Amino acid sequence: MLDFALLGLLRDGPRHGYELRRTLADLGIRRVSFGALYPALRRLERRGAIAAVRGEGRRRTYRITPEGIAEFERLIAESDPDEASGVFRLRLAFLGALPEASRLGVLERRRRALVGRLREARRAFAAAGGDRYRRALLEYRVHSTEADIAWLDRLIAGERGVTVNR
């Protein structure tokens, strides 16, 4: 997942490690430690997905290679209906890299997965035992899943170029 994120960001242009880390944090995607970041860049470099050039000062600036682009394209095309919300958000961050024709499908598949989760969350909430904190947790899951679906619906409507009626 980190590899996917790094490749996606490097698709926009050359960046150095520290910068990639900051961008990832700014996008609210994930907080990456240095002990995860630099070994990940080395892995990608070793397998030829990215290439390093010396930048200013201590900087090692990386750019994506054709092999890296191919790998990125494989990764963004695959779709696991059970993927965690963090993975989907990452996919969304790079949705613009997908041909326009296939974007709607990604959003709709996600919607179907969320509707399934909502059903499950409602079932768990209806069967709720436990104290009020446990019940609050189950209720939260129902509400936040509903909110996520509503948000996706706006994205889908925008993708269709339609004004949302509310």
Candidates 26-34, 40-48, 58-66, 71-79 — which segment interacts with a copy of itself by CB under 8 A?
26-34
Residues comprising the chain, all counted: 166
Name the residue nearer to a copy of itself (CB basis): 42 or 140.
140
* Residue 16 contacts DNA per CB under 7 A: yes
Angle 1-108-144 from CA coordinates, rounded to 5°: 75
CB atoms within 10 A of CB 9: 21
With a CB cutoff of 8 Å and minimum separation 6, the contacts of 4 are 72, 75, 76, 90
Report the partner that residue 111 touches, choosing among DNA, a copy of itself, none (CB closer than 5 to 8 A by kind): none
* Residue 34 contacts a copy of itself per CB under 8 A: no
* Residue 155 contacts a copy of itself per CB under 8 A: yes
- As measured in angstroms, the least distance from the Cβ of 104 to DNA is 26
